[in-house]
A = this chain, B = another copy of it.
Amino acid sequence: MDIFESVREICEKAKKASVNVRCADGSVRDKFLSEFAFLLLHKKDELISANAKDVEEAEKSGLSRAMLDRLTLTEARLEALSEGVKKLCTLSDPLGGGEVFKRPNGMEIKKIKVPLGVVGVIFEARPNVCADIAALCIKSGNCAVLRGGKECINTNLAIEALAKNALGSAGLPEDSVQVIPFTQREGANALMQMRGYVDVLIPRGGKGLIKSVTESSKVPVIETGAGNCHIYVHSDADTDKALSIIENAKVSRPSVCNAIETVLVSRDIADDFLPRLKDVFDRSFVEIRGCEKTRAIIDCAQAGNEDWETEYNDLICAVGVVDSEEAAIAHINRYSTAHSEAIITESRSAAEMFTSLVDSACVYVNASTRFTDGGEFGFGAEVGISTQKLHARGPMGLSALTTDKYVISGNGQIR
């Protein structure tokens, strides 16, 4: 049997299982979560030994140190993973509820939250995503079809086995969580064709992955995680605040999507501010790539057009001097991935102009972009950070995995 047909069968089984998961009581879905959390902890030796095979292969094939680090499961990481899954039990059920409205003809319309059905996820060499998403999907009444990077296939299959074990204990169909066992590109390509079986596809990973999925998928996609984020230092900024926020947003965790990639500085304060910014960046080994006007004030590399477009995910920062707030906003709306941007200013009107004209999911005044995160927003769980406008925008809680259904009760009404 070819890969396409095998993937189709996997998705068909998921669709069939989704009927049971959709109708399962919240307590049954939570039972799965506590079992799964338990197994992640108590079968940690199995997971770590499956993971060791992946790590060994990856080392041989010369995977980068950062990628190897993300791939590796340790006891501490499994504890955190298990803790995260267990915590989902404490969150309220995202299904059901809803408004009820009565129509003049006596019909009652109830708007309820129902699961999307089958959620497909394509991710890279991060086995924690596999366990995380499986748990988020079942909590929200969905089935999961998971296609991870080839580097973590053994780990993913071991996680799948535990999930199936936990599904069995909770009385849910084992097909509710499935890992696509094919590491060839065809596995991902087939998944993108499964319109009719798969209700939504979420790519979790870098820009290349997201681009290829949005361009090729026949299944509706939720784009997540591309973060070319900006901070604009306005002429009325408290520059101490500005420096501390910029340092935090660039340096505290440069590899993540809510870290900044570009700082724009008002020309009115550039002479004074840029040398101080350079001191801060030098201390943290951040390479500056500046525009012409920046380079007239501080010593740094030249920023080309591609720098304004790049999500470095590294200790590099593009720096530009802008003539006006309008110019800063135009730059951001042109180059941003519409994830998170901040203005540093003590001027209320400048802040209002920025927050109303910048067309991004999260727009900050005098705070670090690093707060764009489901946990930091108080959502309890995070499915990802959507950078699109449809369905979900910004940090996605469990409700992003649900849709609406109208149930209308009458006693013979006709129109």
Which A residues lie at the B interface, using CB under 8 A?
19, 22-23, 101, 103, 107, 109, 116-117, 199-200, 214-215, 218, 220, 222, 238, 241, 244-245, 247-249, 252, 351, 355-357, 359-368, 370-372, 376-378, 388-391, 393-394, 403-415
Partner of A412, one of B116, B241, B355, B391: B241
Give the distance in Å from the alpha carbon of A362 to the alpha carbon of B406 in the complex: 5
Q: Inside 8 A of A359's CB, which chain B residues have their CB? A: 22, 117
Q: Knowing that A117-B359, A220-B220, A366-B413 touch, tell me 20 more A-B residue pairs with CB under 8 angstroms.
A: A22-B359, A103-B378, A107-B371, A117-B389, A200-B390, A220-B390, A249-B414, A360-B405, A361-B406, A363-B407, A364-B409, A364-B410, A366-B410, A366-B411, A367-B410, A368-B413, A370-B415, A372-B406, A390-B391, A393-B403
Partner of A389, one of B107, B355, B363, B403: B403
Give the distance in Å from the alpha carbon of A110 to the alpha carbon of B15 in the complex: 37
Q: Inside 8 A of A356's CB, which chain B residues have their CB? A: 22-23
Give the distance in Å from the alpha carbon of A201 to the alpha carbon of B214 in the complex: 15
Give the distance in Å from the alpha carbon of A98 to the alpha carbon of B3 in the complex: 47
Question: Which residue of chain B has its CB nearest to the CB of A412?
Answer: B241
A218 touches B220 (CB 8 A): no
A405 touches B361 (CB 8 A): yes
Give the distance in Å from the alpha carbon of A82 to the alpha carbon of B302 in the complex: 57
Q: In the complex, what's the smallest C-beta–C-beta distance from A111 to chain B, in angstroms?
A: 8
Q: In the complex, what's the smallest C-beta–C-beta distance from A377 to chain B, in angstroms?
A: 6
B23 touches A367 (CB 8 A): no
Q: List 9 A-B contacts (CB under 8 A).
A: A101-B378, A103-B377, A199-B389, A214-B218, A362-B406, A367-B411, A371-B415, A372-B406, A390-B390
Q: In the complex, what's the smallest C-beta–C-beta distance from A402 to chain B, in angstroms?
A: 9
B23 touches A357 (CB 8 A): yes
Q: Inside 8 A of A405's CB, which chain B residues have their CB? A: 360-363, 393-394
B200 touches A107 (CB 8 A): no
Q: Inside 8 A of A361's CB, which chain B residues have their CB? A: 404-406
A404 touches B415 (CB 8 A): no
Q: Inside 8 A of A388's CB, which chain B residues have their CB? A: 220
Question: Which residue of chain B has its CB nearest to the CB of A404?
Answer: B393
Q: Inside 8 A of A378's CB, which chain B residues have their CB? A: 101, 103
B408 touches A362 (CB 8 A): yes
Given contacts A23-B357, A117-B389, A389-B117, contact A367 B412 (CB under 8 A): yes
Q: Inside 8 A of A414's CB, which chain B residues have their CB? A: 244-245, 247-249, 252, 367-368, 370
Give the distance in Å from the alpha carbon of A65 to the alpha carbon of B363 in the complex: 53
A367 touches B107 (CB 8 A): yes
Give the distance in Å from the alpha carbon of A415 to the alpha carbon of B375 in the complex: 12
Give the distance in Å from the alpha carbon of A389 to the alpha carbon of B377 in the complex: 25
Which of A19, A23, A360 has the largest count of B CB atoms less than 10 A from its CB?
Answer: A19
Question: Which residue of chain B has its CB nearest to the CB of A329?
Answer: B19
Q: Inside 8 A of A23's CB, which chain B residues have their CB? A: 356-357
Q: Inside 8 A of A413's CB, which chain B residues have their CB? A: 366-368, 371
Question: Which residue of chain B has its CB nearest to the CB of A360?
Answer: B405
Give the distance in Å from the alpha carbon of A138 to the alpha carbon of B409 in the complex: 34
B389 touches A406 (CB 8 A): no
B404 touches A103 (CB 8 A): no
Q: In the complex, what's the smallest C-beta–C-beta distance from A119 to chain B, in angstroms?
A: 11
Given contacts A103-B376, A218-B215, contact A238 B406 (CB under 8 A): no
Given contacts A220-B390, A377-B109, A388-B220, contact A252 B415 (CB under 8 A): yes
Q: Inside 8 A of A415's CB, which chain B residues have their CB? A: 248, 252, 368, 370-371, 376
Q: In the complex, what's the smallest C-beta–C-beta distance from A246 to chain B, in angstroms?
A: 10
Given contacts A248-B414, A356-B23, A389-B403, contact A409 B370 (CB under 8 A): no
Q: Inside 8 A of A364's CB, which chain B residues have their CB? A: 408-410
